[in-house]
Structure 1
Amino acid sequence: MPATRLADIFVGDYYQTLQPVNSPEKTAVYQSGIIAKNDALDAVASNGQGTSTISYWQDLDANEEANITTDDPDQKGKVGKATQGTMRARTLYLNKPYGTTDLTTELANSEPMQHIRNRYGKYWERQWQRYLLGAARGVIASNIANDGGDMVIDAGAAMTATAMQDAAFTAGDAADQFSAIGVHSVVMKQMVQKDLIEYIKDSQGNVILTTYLGKPIFMDDGLTYGTGKYLSMFFGSGAFGYGEGTPTNPVEVQRDALGGNGGGAEIIVERKTYILQPAGFSWIGEDDPNKTPTIAQFSDPANWKREFDRKLVPFAAVISG
């Protein structure tokens, strides 16, 4: 059983506290405001079905012309109808245990279990970011495979201003729906060197917002696409919806008196029931609640299908070297 052991901590003669060493991994995509809490997804996450169908009303068809009014009482006007569409969302059932022994705690002169508790929130945020980026890769690859790549521009060897502009306008006159742009640090460097980035500063000259095409642009090295390629993404507000269910036992501590050869051991586990749904797409993969998809499976284009018209989908992408 993997657990925090003596080899995982620093044991010295002169210290009073151990400062945690935090991972340098950023979660800029997840924190950028492109995900939105959705009460309907909360309800779906709580139904225990694994995969659920969500119904929505289609907009009224403006291609149907209005009737021409006449004074003939026997002439009946054509009646239109409202129709519904459906999409499928996948619930993720996940858990993560961590363990430590009493001897570890005693020799560390600190509380590793308290440190674990304090860092759980950041651990889950990084997991959600991984799933989010997986879904982003999955829907883009699905778009290339099934929709003619009408949301994607291939920039070739390096990012260009033309490629970024072309990507935004894959949405036509709905291009103004995009509220944020995410790029890899390599791409950001290319854009900075080409003087494409604008900076908004406060009265003291401090940069408070980095923008491109008038949109906030953020940097995250998780935005990769295969080997040696980078995924630059335009996101609309609410590009991802999320919902949370309530596991039967969200957090649990197990005490093992005989662990550590009788010295005592403790395990803490947190459980999450979560939905992260890219707008306009359906999950068409595994629906068995016992087989929650991995991050790699979230990246598989075979598991996603676009349901909305291109203009209604708040994603666009540039793939570059």
Structure 2
Amino acid sequence: MASTQLSDIFVSDYYGTLEPVNSPEKTAVFESGIITRSATLDDIAKNGQGTSEISYWQDLDAEEAPNISNDDPDDQGELGKAEQGSMRARTLYLNKGYGVSDLAAELANSEPMQHIRNRFGTYWTRQWQRYLMGAGRGIIAANIAQNGGDMVKDSGASISANAFQDAAFTAGDAADMFAAIGVHSVVMNQMVKQDMIEYLRDSQGKIILATYLGKPVFMDDALTYAPGQYLSLFFGQGAFGYGEGDPTKPVELERKPGGGNGGGAEVLWERKTFILQPAGFSWQGSENRNLSPTAVQYAAAANWKRVFDRKQVPFAAVISGTATP
């Protein structure tokens, strides 16, 4: 069992007073507001099933022309109908435990378990972002494989304003639905060099937000598409729906008296049940609730299918550049 060992601990009288060192990994895209908590998805996440059907009303068909009124009482107008569709959502059942030996805590003169408690929230945020990035890559790959890539533009070796504009307008007259853009740091660097980025500053002149055409631009180095390629993603409001379930024991402290060769040890477990559903796409992968998919499996094209019309899907993408695998 992997646990906090003596070599992992900075031994100091003041160890417990030090701030934890944050990982350099960023979660800007996850925190950008493109994820909407849904009471419906909360309920589905609590139903104990691996996958669930979500029904939705399809929009009224604007291609059907209206009837022309006349004064003939026997001339019955043609009726349209409202139709329902459905998509599948995948519930994820995840857990993680971290262990600490009593001797490690004693010699550290601090509380490594308290440090673990303090950092668990950040750990889960990073895991959620891995699933979000996986879903982003997966639905784009599915779009290329199944829909002729009608949501995607290839920018070649470097990003360009034309490529960004073309990607947004894959949604036609719904192009104004996009509210944020996520890019890799290499792509952001290219955008800065091309003067594509504008900055919002506070009263002290400090940069508080980078924007492109008035839309927030969030930088995240998880935004790669494949070896050698970067993925720039356009998100609309409600791009991802999010729901949480209720694990039987969401938090559990396990005492292991025999751990540490009898010196004693503790393991802190946290368990999460959640759904992260990209709008307009249906899960096509495993339905086995005992085999929750990994973030890598979320990125597989075969595991997603678009069920909304292109204009109703709040995603677009630009593939560009040469990324380091």
TM-score by length of 2: 0.96
Q: Which amino acid aligns with 1:299?
A: A
Q: Report the CA distance between 1:304 and its aligned residue.
A: 0.1
> Match for residue 56 of structure 1?
56
CA offsets 1:107-136 (integer angstroms, 9 cap, x no match): 001000010011000000000000000000
**Contact 1:18 1:110 survives alignment (8 Å):** no
Q: How many residues end up aligned between the 2 structures?
A: 321
AA in 1 matched with 2:274: Y
Corresponding residue of 1:104: 104
Query: For residues 196 and 51 of structure 2, what CA distance do their matches in structure 1 show?
Result: 43
* Aligned residue in 2 for 1:253: 253
Flag structure 2 segments of 5+ consecutive residues without an equivalent: none
The 1-side partners of 2:111 and 2:94 are apart by 25
Q: Distance in 2 between matches of 1:223 and 1:91?
A: 23
Contact 1:210 1:217 in 2 (8 A): yes
**108-117 or 17-26, which deviates more:** 17-26
Indicate if the aligned counterparts of 2:12 and 2:109 stay in contact, CA closer than 8 A.
Answer: no
Matches within 5 A, 1:86-97: 86-97=86-97
2:197 corresponds to: 197
* Contact 1:93–1:273 (8 Å) recurs in 2: yes
Per the TM alignment, residue 13 of structure 1 is displaced from its structure 2 partner at its CA by 7.4
Matched position secondary structure for 1:204: coil
Q: Where does residue 318 of structure 1 map in the other structure?
A: 318
* Shift, 1:16, TM fit: 6.4
1:163 paired with 2:163, answer yes
Q: Which runs of 4+ in 1 moved over 3 A?
A: 12-19
- CA-CA distance at 1:67 after TM superposition: 1.4
In the alignment, what sits opposite 2:66? 66
For the residues of structure 1 that align with 2:253 and 2:206, how far apart are their CA atoms?
46
Query: Which residue number corresponds to residue 123 of structure 1?
Result: 123
In 2, Cα distance between equivalents of 1:78 and 1:15: 77
Partner deviation per Cα, 1:164-204 (whole Å, 9 max, x = no partner): 11111111110100000111110111111111111122333
Question: 1:151 aligns to what?
Answer: 151
Instruction: Give the aligned partner of residue 224 of structure 1.
Output: 224
The 3 A distance-change label for structure 1 pair 18 and 206 is closer
Residue equivalent to 1:299: 299
Aligned counterparts of 1:241 and 1:16: Cα–Cα separation in 2? 38
Check 1:50–1:69 CA distance in 2 against 1; reply closer, same or farther (3 A cut): same
Cα distance change of structure 1 residues 80 and 22 upon mapping to structure 2, 3 Å threshold: same
The answer to whether the 8 Å contact 2:98/2:116 transfers is yes
The question of whether the paired residues in 1 share the 8 Å contact of 2:16 and 2:111 is answered with no
TM-score, normalised to structure 1's length? 0.97
